[in-house]
Amino acid sequence: MPTITSTDDTYKKLVAENKLVLVDFWAPWCSPCKTLTPILETIAQNYKELKVLKHNIDDFPNVATAENIRSIPTLYLYKDGKQVETIIGALPEIQIVNIIKKHL
């Protein structure tokens, strides 16, 4: 499944409706965010039980402010609607996958 665009209006609903959700807080001007994009697309395709959301903090700043996002890229992993992991920075795919696998 491809990544899903999250907005300030859809964020909470998408997190609540899916068992395992990885949210990428990013911006188009962020080089590490651009590096992370194809990695997250691969992860989204390989793990059908995981929904990967892309939340552009420039276009939709309210959730990022409410979630206290201070640097990007920041990834939040939610399981059953509760945040279980925070990943800051553009980590290699294997490290992100290992974090996700702990919650499958």
The pLDDT of residue 76: 98
Q: How far apart are the first and last CA of the chain?
A: 17
**Domain chopping of the chain, boundaries:** 4-101
Domain 4-101 sits in CATH at 3.40.30.10
What torsion, rounded to 10 degrees, do the Cα atoms 50, 45, 13, 24 define? 90
Q: 14-53: per-residue pLDDT in tens? A: 999 999 999 999 999 999 999 999 999 999 999 999 999 9
Residue 1 has pLDDT above 80, yes or no: no
The pLDDT of residue 69: 96
Q: 55-64: per-residue pLDDT in tens? A: 999 999 999 9
Q: 57-95: per-residue pLDDT in tens? A: 999 999 999 999 999 999 999 999 999 999 999 999 999
30-51 exposure pattern, b = at least 16 Cβ within 10 A, e = fewer: beebeebeebbeebbeebeebb
Point out the residues that are catalytic.
30, 33
